[in-house]
Structure 1
Amino acid sequence: MDSSSHAIPFGEFPEDVQLCILSFLSLPEIAAFACTSKRSLSLCSGGSRLWHALCDRRWGSKTLISRWGEGKISFRLLYRTLNEWDSLIGFWRRSGHPRPSSTAASPPQLVFFEWGPKFLAGSRVSPSQNGTYGVVKSPFLWLSLSPSGEAVNFLDPNEKSSGFPSEEAVREGDFIPVNVSFMGASHLVVEENVQGFGSSRFGFRRSSSSVNLTNDEEEVNGVDTNGLPGSLPDQYMSEMYQYFANRTSPGGNGSSRRQRRREKERQGRRKWEPEHFIKIVNCSPTTSRPLQGLWKGIAQDSKLDFYLVTYDDIGGIACRRVGDSSAERFSGCPLVFWTSNSNYIKPPFPPKELFFYDNRVHPRAGDPGCYLAENEAETVSHILHINSSFDLLIPDMADNAPVNPRHVEGRIWQYENGTFGFGFLRDNFIVDLKHIAQDGQLLDVEEPDKD
């Protein structure tokens, strides 16, 4: 019997089932489906049920979609907003000079964005200073929507709050309204909003990162496709030009002079200097790049550090320590090791390699001089040679590079559990690296000091 005789037409499924199936599709795919029949067109453009299904499918397990905007905004608007803000999720690195501060310490360089119940939160992330693998997470930035659909973004300059600010805290001036602007897909600017009060009850205009939410809607057969990655290829570039055009005036006419005067007035009222952030796009390992990503490790001095490992297009692997940036070149991410050789040694290992590994210690969390016992060390699955050459990698650093090849030659030991460690011939210890985050969640989180 022909199995096709038992096929059930899509239109005979209950509408709830049809909407559930459509929620697995992208908006361009839904737009194409809407072209197939009048019934399909009606289903795709017939109200908020489809948009609710799309939001729930994509973000329902990450945030409470019914609580955004106190439940008073359309799911269509919510989808377009969350679709854009979804690119914020993950790790970013502060770029440029640290902002002026009353304290000597500059803010941590690493920032992590994650979903909250009805907002998106950005937190500064720094290594714990108590000799453990703990990670200090300090929330400082929140993005959400008002009941009228306006973007409301707040920043806590003191980084003492642990949740989205209340209206009372905003009125008292404990939080600063900010604009969050995308300058390309991987460049973010956070700057104080000192002008232009909008229609929301908090009185803040929509950030330029959500500019497409206020523009005329782009639809295909009644299905909105605006705000999708790739739907407006020149959007980020035009935003970048518009951003810098609004901040500089090439001419000398009266309008330009007024613009410069208004800019000076805004600078005088500003409580917060703009901060720039660059996204770390490959912050997790993959099957083909098992060392890639952000890691944390404790060296011989029992100090926890963050490390970023990247692969280049010719097979090289570089590891840099993620620290606070400064005016000094390369000080923001100093080089730890680099190798052009990505060919692993597989078991059985030569006796020389076994001796090299077995005669090195693994610093552990705790006091200096405290090491892992031999039976606590991870099982090695692969070994990679480090053949760092500073004069080839960064010519400007050649004068400070060690001339003894033992100072740059070392090994990377990949463990069976997916982590790895590295060490050099000049040292007698191995820095074991662990994950900073996994499955979108920070590991070993510690509360910041509120004093």
Structure 2
Amino acid sequence: MEPDFVPTSFADFPEDVQLCILSFLTPPEIANFSCTSKRFVSLCRSDAKLWYALCDRRWGSKTQIRKWGNGKICYRLLYKTLSEWESLIGFWRRSGQRSTSSSVAAVATVARPPPLVVFEWGPSFVAGSRVSPSQDGTYGVVKSPFLWMSLSPSGEPVNFVDSDGKSGEFDSNYCVDSIGKTDLIPVDVNFMGCTHLVVEENIGLGCNSHRNGFRRSSSSANLCSDEEEASGSENGTFGSLPDRYMSEMYQHFANRTSPSGSGASRRQRKREKERQGKRKWVAEHFVKITDCSPTPSRPLQGLWKGISDCMKLEFYLVTYDEIGGIACRRVGEPADRFSGSAPVFWTSKATFTEPPFSQDETIMYHSRMHLHPIDEENYMFGELPIENEPVFRILYINSSYDLLIPDLAGTTATDRRNEGRIWLYRDGTFGFGFLQDNFIIDLKHMALNGFLH
């Protein structure tokens, strides 16, 4: 007869095993678990044990959690901060035109910065870097850090930008007191919703203008203080951009309609002019590229790079719409009026042609020249024939300005409509070309496993 099975209680496990199990839980689950027994309350409140284990399991392989805030901040605060900042990691693109008007024109750079930005974990900070194509005719990518986000020993966020891009790699030893002694500019990093980011100068850092330095608007997920969490507030933090704009609008119209409004309005305009005169950084808006990698159902999706017909490296963003269409656009500064709207290629139906291919399709592919970096062409020129990539599937595409700009229909711009092909290769990359051209632009991955490639 088998002996009766005696279940093991959680309390019977050694403490290190208990910590390991609890490290898989979320903070709300830990809070609920602490209510089950008085003996577990101290364990759930242990900063050096449980909250360190939580941070280490989630971010230990990405950043050195012991170095944040010079190792003087509690891990519970670190967990909360890194949970907020984790949504930054990845690729973003600048939205809108960077203003050069008003008093900030004197400090605005002549050359516009690259529109593509990538956020990555550092040893004890999050760094934002501008990403641009190399100018040497290769597939190389240039990464220039410009935004740095970390925590002071007191647990306050410390964010600043390098407007000139001359500081190189950021040093993890910067703190609030040292920012004023450098050319770096303190900024606030604000989320407007989940995928819209605003970086604006914090000219009142010494006056503690923003306690957190990293805020979300009331339209996004709540990132409120402990007191607000306890009270169950669902309206966002005080001072979020929509609330602040409404307050400023109310004050503006109140000053204009009140009996003594003219003097107050003049004083307000004077203060605003003085405030703008102190600014060294023009606010920039960024939109997150949420789908920047291919998937089995969307093999063309994401960020790509390739040598264009002008023999320069270009970045491309391929997106799928809700009805199965695919559009590819260049990620860069618009060269003319319509380049920001027109797709490089477009198709309304993402249905691939499977092999075996017809003889005409085979000849169409093999008769075209693949555009490669200059060094690869020099290596192959006159020596060895370039072998074409094995084609896995074929997709029909076209390109037209009037697809997105109806007013151009019937004009000379519609002459740009081209029928073309996408040749999907077995290694997951692809090339595209149009029937009127004799070349194929092969696209490579921008990033693999979360790293620029």
TM-score (norm: length of structure 2): 0.84
Distance 1:432 1:151 in 2: 43
Check if 1:58 corresponds to 2:70: no
1:146 alignment partner, one of 152, 167, 185 = 152
Greater alpha carbon shift after TM alignment, 415-424 vs 164-173: 164-173
Query: How far is the alpha carbon of 1:438 from its aligned partner?
Result: 1.6
CA contact (8 A) 1:390 1:397 kept: yes
Aligned residues: 427
Q: Secondary structure in 2 aligned to 1:290?
A: coil
* 1:181 equivalent in structure 2: 190
Q: How does 1:2-401 map to 2 (within 5 A)?
A: 5=5, 7-100=7-100, 103-165=109-171, 166=174, 170-197=179-206, 205-209=211-215, 212=223, 214-216=225-227, 218=229, 235=236, 239-245=240-246, 248=249, 249-253=251-255, 259-324=268-333, 330-332=338-340, 334-366=342-374, 375-398=386-409, 399-401=411-413
Q: Secondary structure in 2 aligned to 1:197?
A: helix
Query: How far is the alpha carbon of 1:258 from its aligned partner?
Result: 5.4
Paired residue type of 2:352? Y
Deviation per CA, 1:401-433, whole angstroms, max 9, x where unpaired? 3447xx521111111111111111011111111
* 1:436 equivalent in structure 2: 446
Query: How far is the alpha carbon of 1:381 from its aligned partner?
Result: 1.0
Distance 2:193 2:266 in 1: 29
Relative distance call for 1:284 and 1:424 in structure 2 (3 A) is: same
Query: How far is the alpha carbon of 1:6 from its aligned partner?
Result: 6.3
Relative distance call for 1:3 and 1:276 in structure 2 (3 A) is: farther
Paired residue type of 2:313? L
CA contact (8 A) 1:301 1:368 kept: no
Distance 1:113 1:365 in 2: 27
Query: How far is the alpha carbon of 1:441 from its aligned partner?
Result: 1.3
Q: Secondary structure in 2 aligned to 1:136?
A: strand
**Which of the pair has more CA radius of gyration?**
2
Relative distance call for 1:6 and 1:363 in structure 2 (3 A) is: farther
Query: How far is the alpha carbon of 1:390 from its aligned partner?
Result: 4.1
Greater alpha carbon shift after TM alignment, 83-92 vs 383-392: 383-392
* 1:449 equivalent in structure 2: none
Distance 2:428 2:135 in 1: 26
Deviation per CA, 1:41-95, whole angstroms, max 9, x where unpaired? 4432344422111111111111111100000001111111111111111111111
* 1:448 equivalent in structure 2: none
Deviation per CA, 1:284-338, whole angstroms, max 9, x where unpaired? 1112111111100002322000000000000000000011258x76544642011
CA contact (8 A) 1:80 1:213 kept: no
CA contact (8 A) 1:321 1:333 kept: no
Q: Secondary structure in 1 aligned to 2:254?
A: coil
Relative distance call for 1:99 and 1:32 in structure 2 (3 A) is: same
Q: Secondary structure in 2 aligned to 1:29?
A: helix
Paired residue type of 1:44? C
CA contact (8 A) 1:184 1:237 kept: no
Distance 1:236 1:420 in 2: 46
Query: How far is the alpha carbon of 1:34 from its aligned partner?
Result: 3.5
Check if 1:426 corresponds to 2:436: yes
* 2:103 equivalent in structure 1: none
Greater alpha carbon shift after TM alignment, 261-270 vs 390-399: 390-399
Relative distance call for 1:74 and 1:257 in structure 2 (3 A) is: farther
Relative distance call for 1:12 and 1:376 in structure 2 (3 A) is: farther
Deviation per CA, 1:332-382, whole angstroms, max 9, x where unpaired? 464201101211111222222111111111111017976896554322111
Deviation per CA, 1:128-168, whole angstroms, max 9, x where unpaired? 11100011111011001000111111111110112335469
* 1:447 equivalent in structure 2: none
Higher relative contact order (CA 8 A, sep 6+): 1
Paired residue type of 1:410? G
Relative distance call for 1:432 and 1:397 in structure 2 (3 A) is: farther
Relative distance call for 1:129 and 1:289 in structure 2 (3 A) is: same
Distance 1:236 1:187 in 2: 17
Relative distance call for 1:357 and 1:325 in structure 2 (3 A) is: closer
CA contact (8 A) 1:98 1:107 kept: no
Paired residue type of 2:350? S
Relative distance call for 1:350 and 1:104 in structure 2 (3 A) is: same
Deviation per CA, 1:212-247, whole angstroms, max 9, x where unpaired? 46451636xxxxxx9xxxx98754998341243355
Relative distance call for 1:169 and 1:31 in structure 2 (3 A) is: closer
Relative distance call for 1:302 and 1:45 in structure 2 (3 A) is: same
Q: Secondary structure in 1 aligned to 2:356?
A: coil
Paired residue type of 2:67? R
Unpaired runs of at least 5, structure 1: 220-225, 444-451
CA contact (8 A) 1:30 1:44 kept: yes
Relative distance call for 1:185 and 1:358 in structure 2 (3 A) is: same
CA contact (8 A) 1:402 1:408 kept: no
* 2:104 equivalent in structure 1: none
Greater alpha carbon shift after TM alignment, 80-89 vs 189-198: 189-198
Query: How far is the alpha carbon of 1:119 from its aligned partner?
Result: 0.7
Relative distance call for 1:243 and 1:50 in structure 2 (3 A) is: farther
Deviation per CA, 1:191-227, whole angstroms, max 9, x where unpaired? 111115257xxx98531427946451636xxxxxx9x
Distance 2:91 2:254 in 1: 41
Deviation per CA, 1:246-294, whole angstroms, max 9, x where unpaired? 5544433367765544332210111111111111111111121111111
Paired residue type of 2:229? E
CA contact (8 A) 1:300 1:369 kept: no
Paired residue type of 1:31? A
Distance 2:4 2:282 in 1: 65
CA contact (8 A) 2:92 2:286 kept: yes
Q: Secondary structure in 2 aligned to 1:418?
A: coil
CA contact (8 A) 1:23 1:53 kept: yes
Compute the RMSD of aligned alpha carbons: 3.1
Query: How far is the alpha carbon of 1:397 from its aligned partner?
Result: 4.0
Q: Secondary structure in 1 aligned to 2:439?
A: coil
